Every structure is written in C-alpha cells, then in structure tokens.
Amino acid sequence: MGFVLTEKELSKNNAFKIEINLSENIPFTLSIPRDENVLQINKGVMQGEVDIESLKLELSQKFSININSIDFRINKTNKVFVEFSSELKIDQETIINVLQQTISQELPHTLRNKDTKKPLIYITNDLFGIPLIGSIYFGVIDRGTNLLQIRPITGCPLNCPFCSVDEGPISKTKLRDYIVDTDYLVNTYNSIVAEKKLKEAEAHLDGQGEPMSYPYLPELVQKLQENENTKIVSIQTNGWYLTEQLIDELAEVNLTRINLSINALSSSLSKKLSGKGDYRIDKMLELAEYIANSKISLLLAPLWIPGINDQDIEEIVQFSLKVNSNETKYPTLGIQNYLTHDVGRNLKGIPQKKFAEFNQQLRKIEKKFGAKNLVLKPYMFNTYKTEMIPNPMKINEIVNAEVVLLGRQMGEVIVKAKNRLIHVSDVTHFSLGKKIKVRIIRNRHNIFFAEAV
Ligand code: SF4
C-alpha cells in the first residue's frame, strides 16, 4: 500500500504518532485549499470536496482517537497527510478504508463537472436497479444493429456555436451532468450483447457531450473488450482531453478506432468553431498524427459548414491523406453535413444542404484529391442490421412509474417502469422514490419520452 508511517512512543502518554500519506493511498488527486477546512477531491472532470471535520469525527468515533489530535495537512509538494496520536496500534489499511468510505458517502453531495461547473450525479446500480436502457443522456442505446452506443458521461469542455445538443459551459438548457459507474455500464452492455446474441459487437462510446472526459476511460475500454463477442471498441471525441499518454493507454487496452472531430485548420477559425480561445489546432494535429502512427485507427470527422470552412475541409482531406495513408481497415474521413436543429445551437444564416447535393460534393473532393470512401456506408465499418431488443412500452400507453432522478432540463425528471428509464418533462410536483402516472409519447430505439397525466 506504500504507507508513510511514523510510529514513535511519545514519552508522556505512551501514544503512537501515526502519519499516513493520503495522496498515495486514495485514488483521487487531493488538496486542501488555503484557509478552508475541506479536502478537495479531483479525478479528471470530477471535482468535489469533503468537510475535514466529518472525516475527523469518523476517525475519532471508529478508533476512539482524541479528535483534537487529528490533523489533515498538505506539504510543499502538494501531498495530503493525516496524522494523529493513538494509544493503540491501528491497522493503517483500516484507516484508509474508513476514510474512503466516508469520502464516497459525502462526495456525491458536492460533486461537480469541472468543465461545465454543473452538479455531477454519479449513477450506480443502487440508484435504479435496472439495466441502463431508455435514456438519451447515459447508458446503452441499441438502434437495431451490431453497434451499441455507450454513453458514460454528459457535459463538454467546448462551446461549439453549432452544437445540436446545446452542450458545454455556455449551455442554457442543461442544469446538471451525469457520470455512470463503469461496471454498471459494462453489465448493461454485456446483457444486451447476450440478449441480441451478437457475435461481432461494436461498443461505440459517444454521448451528449464529450465521452473522452470520462475519467475511467481505459478501464471502461478494457472491460468492454473483455466480452468475447466484442469485435470493435470505438470512440467519438473532440480531442480536448487527448494526450500522447492517454493514446498509449487506450492502445494498450485495444481501443480500435478514434473518430476525431476537427473542423478547421486555421488557428482563428478553429478557435471560433470550438468556442474556446485556448483551443490549439496545431497540438490537435500532432495528436492526430500520433494516433495514426499507433495501433488505433483514426477517422477524422469534420463538420462541413457551407461558406465557413469549405477551404478547411479540403485541407483536412489533404492532411488525412498525408498522415493516415497506411490505414486499411476503416475509412479515414467521415465528413459530416451541417444540419440545423430545433433545439440546440445553430449558426445564423447557414442553410442546410440536401444529402444528395452533399454526397455529390464529396464525390468531387474524392476525384480532386484521390481520396476514397468519403460517402460512408455502414458496411465500411462492419455495421449491419440485427433484431432490436424488445420495446416494452407503446405510444400512448399509460404506465405507473417511479421517479428515480432529476432530469437535465428544467422540469424534467427521469422515471423507471418496465425495466426502462423514461424522460418526463414539465413535471411540477414529484419527489424521488414516489410513483407518478405517465403517458408514453416517444419510444424509438427504446429511448422513452413521456408526459405526466
Ligand atoms: S464538441 Fe460536440 S458536444 Fe461539445 S460543444 Fe461541440 S458539438 Fe457540442
């Protein structure tokens, strides 16, 4: 366990002085802000704090330690220690376990998403007790193919002005974020793979937001790959959290492909389209090349916004041909057509191209640069149709459902019924754990929306 432990008999009261390096033994980044009596806890985008007095109280009660002798401190190298005096020798592993338990109980009350600054709800099996199916925000989505969408986290560090789901720090509609326990997500994936009898499943990590902000990404990829029927694990990302180290870690656990969205090659336009002044396209291109040279396949997925990044699209195609010409398994470019949205953010005055026209333009680019497969088809990714998992609720059906979670939008709650999660909007009176009657108004792909009746 690597404890730093000092035991010395104090001459006066014959007590042991115990000192433990918490930074080495608790799997989070810890700190104690100056003049505050809290232990700050970080892991990737997860950020929270625990009152030091409650940790002291727990230690004092569990081990009969004089509370006044307990001290939490941070040293010059930012390592956090706890120290106290005790008349008994106490097993240090037990102390760490007690502190970890207290932290896991207290942390959910203060957990926030560092990117969006919104409350972050940690979703575990205990919260719902059913498979994670039914929500557009998190869990697993089956759209009737061998590809299952895996959604581990919501929220995004970028502020793209065209974001179809209004994500990022400037979001006006999203009140909170969610993060899902890795095992809960993987168990749901495994159960759907078994139910569909898939032999060549693709686990595709995406989401409303940036899936690469999930702090347990390598563990998640590894566990998805452990299913013997998983053939591909792929991820959609804007690249903000990519580093060479993370790429190495993901290659190590056999991530198959990264779909990286970059929308412009000039510094000023890429900052504008990401909504971030500190967005570094030069760094992003270096990382794209690093992926192309790793065993992970790379697909560049720019959004073509007519009249805004026409020139950049051609340059991105040329960049891809230059750095990613050795890729043979999958298409290397997935140029997206700009679409306008009823909800979400739109760029003013940019019309939406018809798909026939869009595909024609892609064919022209193929010819101009000798690029292949710009008009994508599912077979190019080994994606094929399968039976969908059963849909247990019909449109207009009225069901008795239990409220299990606050939704992401004002007035929205998440309820559960018939082994599925359901979004219900405009709910004014409710309390968690109580039953309400809802009418199903949308049930496509086992993603459910309902209204209260
Ligand atoms: S990266 Fe995607 S989710 Fe994030 S703000 Fe941009 S479009 Fe929205």
Mutate to test the pocket of ligand 1, among 151, 153, 238, 260 (most ligand atoms within 8 A of CB): 238
Whether residue 5 is contained in a domain is answered as no
Q: In terms of C-beta density within 10 A (0-12 exposed, 13-18 middle, 19 or more buried), how is residue 280 classed? A: middle
Which protein residue has the closest C-alpha to ligand 1 atom 3? Answer: 209
Q: Is 158 in the pocket of ligand 1 (CB under 6 A)?
A: yes
Structural domain that includes position 31: 16-110
Q: Which domain-ending residue is among 76, 110, 144?
A: 110
How would you write the pLDDT of the chain (453 residues) with one tens digit per residue? 433 444 444 445 567 888 999 999 999 999 999 989 999 999 999 999 999 999 999 999 999 899 999 999 999 999 999 999 888 888 889 999 999 999 989 998 999 999 999 999 999 998 899 989 999 999 999 999 999 999 999 999 999 999 999 999 999 999 999 999 999 999 999 999 999 999 999 999 999 999 999 999 999 999 999 999 999 999 999 999 999 999 999 999 999 999 999 999 999 999 999 999 999 999 999 999 999 999 999 999 999 999 999 999 999 999 999 999 999 999 999 999 999 888 889 999 998 899 999 999 999 999 999 999 999 999 999 999 999 999 999 999 999 999 999 999 999 999 999 999 999 999 988 899 999 999 999 999 999 999 999
Buried b / exposed e along 361-389 (16+ C-beta atoms within 10 A): bbeebbeeeebeebebeeeebebeebeeb
Whether residue 406 is contained in a domain is answered as yes
* Rg (the chain; Cα; Å): 25
Whether residue 275 is contained in a domain is answered as yes
- Bridge pairing between strands 230-237 and 201-205: parallel
Do 279 and 160 fall within a single domain?
A: yes
Phi, psi (rounded to 5 degrees) for 368: -60, -40
Buried b / exposed e along 158-197 (16+ C-beta atoms within 10 A): bbbbbbbbbbbbebeebebbbbbbbebbbbbbbebbeebe
CA distance 148 to 112: 28
3-state secondary structure of 180: strand
Do 265 and 362 fall within a single domain?
A: yes
Residue 165 CA: nearest ligand 1 atom is 8
Do 46 and 153 fall within a single domain?
A: no
Do 307 and 176 fall within a single domain?
A: yes
Do 235 and 333 fall within a single domain?
A: yes
Q: Is 238 in the pocket of ligand 1 (CB under 6 A)?
A: yes
Residue 441: its H or E element: strand 435-442
CA distance 136 to 208: 8
Q: Is 160 in the pocket of ligand 1 (CB under 6 A)?
A: yes
The domain spanning residue 269 has which CATH number?
A: 3.20.20.70
Residue 158 CA: nearest ligand 1 atom is 5
Domain count, the chain: 3
Residue 162 CA: nearest ligand 1 atom is 7
CA distance 18 to 167: 47
Residue 168 CA: nearest ligand 1 atom is 5
**What residues contact residue 332 under an 8 Å CB cut-off, 6+ apart?**
298, 299, 300, 320, 324, 373
Q: Is 106 in the pocket of ligand 1 (CB under 6 A)?
A: no
Mutate to test the pocket of ligand 1, among 118, 154, 163 (most ligand atoms within 8 A of CB): 163
Do 347 and 257 fall within a single domain?
A: yes
Mutate to test the pocket of ligand 1, among 156, 240, 408 (most ligand atoms within 8 A of CB): 156
Do 243 and 356 fall within a single domain?
A: yes
